[in-house]
Structure 1
Amino acid sequence: MAEGCFKTPAKPKGRTSKGIDVSGGKFNLEIPASPFLARLGYGTGVSVYSLDRGKEQSPWAIKKLNKFYRERQTVQKVCLEKEAELMRKLNHPNIIGFRSYTQTPEGPMLLLEKCDWSLLDVIEERVDKGSNAFEAWKIEKVAKDVVFALEFLHHTLFYMHGDLKSANVLVNGDFDAVKLCDFGVAVKMDEDFTAPAEEYTGTRYWLAKEVLEGSKERITNKAEMYSYGLTVFEMLSLSFPHMEDATDCSTSTETDSSFPEDEDSVVDESENSTLGTRPYLPERLAAFYAADKNYNDILSIYFLCTSENAGERPAANHLASSFREKMAAGEA
Structure 2
Amino acid sequence: MLQSIFDFGQTTSTFWKQCDKALLDEQNELLEHEFLVGSKERLIKKKFLVMSQDSLFRVSLSNLKKAPLLTMHVQFIEASTDNFVQLNSDEQLLGFHLSYQGKSLEIFTADKISYDIWKSHFKRFAILDNFHEAFQVSKMIGKGSFAKVYQATKKETNTQYAIKAFSKAYMQQQAKGIESMLNEIKIMRRLNHPNIVKLYEVHETTNSIYFVLDMIQGGELLQRVRETGFLPAETVQKLAFNLVSALSHMHENRVIHRDLKPENLLLRSTENNYEIILADFGLATNLDEEHLFKRCGTPGFVAPEILEYVEGQEFYTDKCDVFSAGIILYLLITGNTPFIGVDQKSILKNNKECEIDFKEPHFKLAPIQMQDLIQSMLQKKVSYRLSSQECMRHPYFKQLVKEYKVQIEKYQSNLQCYQEIQNARKIGTQDLEQRSPLNFNSSDSISSNISQNRQDQRKTSIVAGASKFSQYSARLSKQNSREISDIPLKQEQKKSKDLHRLALTNSQLKQIAFNQFDNVEDPTAEDCNVGVMVRQYNSTRQIRIPDNTLQIKECNTPTMQKQQ
Could you say whether these structures have the same fold, taking a TM-score greater than 0.5 normalized by the shorter chain as the test?
yes
Matched-pair contact (CA < 8 Å) for 2:334–2:363: no
Counterpart selection for 1:205 from 273, 297, 300? 300
Give the match for residue 164 of structure 1.
260
> Is 1:326 paired with 2:399?
yes
Q: CA deviation at 1:83?
A: 1.2
Alignment of structure 1 residues 1-332 onto 2, 5 Å: 24=122, 28-32=133-137, 37-40=139-142, 42=144, 44-53=145-154, 57-65=158-166, 69-70=170-171, 72=173, 74-118=175-219, 121-127=220-226, 129=227, 131-155=228-252, 157-173=253-269, 174-175=272-273, 177-190=275-288, 199-215=294-310, 216-240=313-337, 242-243=339-340, 268-269=344-345, 272-276=348-352, 277-280=354-357, 286-288=360-362, 290-291=364-365, 295-322=367-394, 325-328=398-401
Give 1:243 deviation, angstroms: 4.3
C-alpha contact (below 8 Å) 2:268/2:275 kept by paired residues: yes
- Structure 2 CA distance for partners of 1:41 and 1:311, relative to 1, 3 Å: farther
Identity, in percent, stands at: 19
Contact 2:187 2:285 in 1 (8 A): no
Q: CA deviation at 1:93?
A: 2.0
Secondary structure at the aligned position of 1:175 is classed as: coil
Distance 1:278 1:31, change over 3 A: farther
Q: 1:299 to 1:197 in 2, by over 3 A?
A: farther
1:95–1:181 CA contact under 8 A, matched in 2: yes
* SS across alignment from 2:242: helix
**CA distance, structure 1, for counterparts of residue 143 and residue 371 of structure 2:** 30
| Structure 2 letter corresponding to 1:183 | F
Equivalent position amino acid for 1:207 in 2: V
Instruction: Give distance in 2, aligned partners of 1:22 and 1:38.
Output: 27
The 1:56/1:100 distance shift into structure 2, 3 A limit, reads closer
Over residues 186-226 of structure 1, what are the superposed CA-to-partner deviations in whole Å (9 max), with x where a residue is unaligned?
122249xxx97962522232111111122433212222211
1:196/1:217 contact within 8 Å kept: no
- Give the conservation status (yes or no) of the 8 Å contact 2:259–2:284: yes
Please tell me the residue identity of whatever aligns with 1:182.
D
2:273 partner letter: F
Partners in 2 of 1:224 and 1:272 — Cα distance? 17
Deviates more, 1:71-80 or 1:179-188: 71-80
CA distance in 1, matches of 2:369, 2:292: 30
Name whichever of 69-78 and 303-312 sits farther off: 69-78
Amino acid aligned to 1:80: M
The question of whether the paired residues in 1 share the 8 Å contact of 2:259 and 2:298 is answered with yes
Alpha-carbon distance in 1 for matches of 2:240, 2:295 = 22
CA distance in 2, matches of 1:112, 1:49: 10
Distance 1:329 1:84, change over 3 A: closer
Instruction: Give me the whole-angstrom Cα distance separating, in 2, the residues matched to 1:41 and 1:234.
Output: 26
Aligned residues of 2:256 and 2:284 also touching (Cα < 8 A): yes
* C-alpha RMSD of matched pairs (Å): 3.6
Q: Distance in 2 between matches of 1:29 and 1:62?
A: 12
Bigger radius of gyration = 2
The one-letter code matched in structure 2 to 1:148 is: S
Partner Cα distance (2:224, 2:239) in 1: 17
Runs of 5+ consecutive residues of structure 2 not aligned to the other structure? 1-73, 77-118, 405-445, 447-564
CA contact (8 A) 1:46 1:66 kept: yes
Which stretch shifts more, 143-152 or 197-206?
197-206
Q: Which runs of 5+ in 1 are unaligned?
A: 1-17, 246-266
Q: Secondary structure at the match of 2:339?
A: coil
User: For residues 328 and 268 of structure 1, what CA distance do their matches in structure 2 show?
Assistant: 39
**8 Å CA contact 1:197, 1:217 repeated in 2:** no
Letter in 2 for 1:82: N
Structure-2 separation of matches of 1:138 and 1:41: 30
How far apart are the structure 1 equivalents of 2:157 and 2:334?
40
Structure 1 243/37 Cα, relative in aligned 2: closer, same or farther at 3 Å? farther
Deviations for 1:126-151, whole angstroms, at most 9, x for unmatched residues?
32x4x532111222222111111111
TM-score norm. by structure 1 comes to 0.70
Equivalent residues, number: 278
Letter in 2 for 1:325: K
CA distance in 1, matches of 2:362, 2:154: 45
1:197 and 1:211 in contact (8 A); partners too: no
CA gap 1:55/1:219 in 2 versus in 1, 3 angstroms: same
Structure 2 partner of 1:10: none
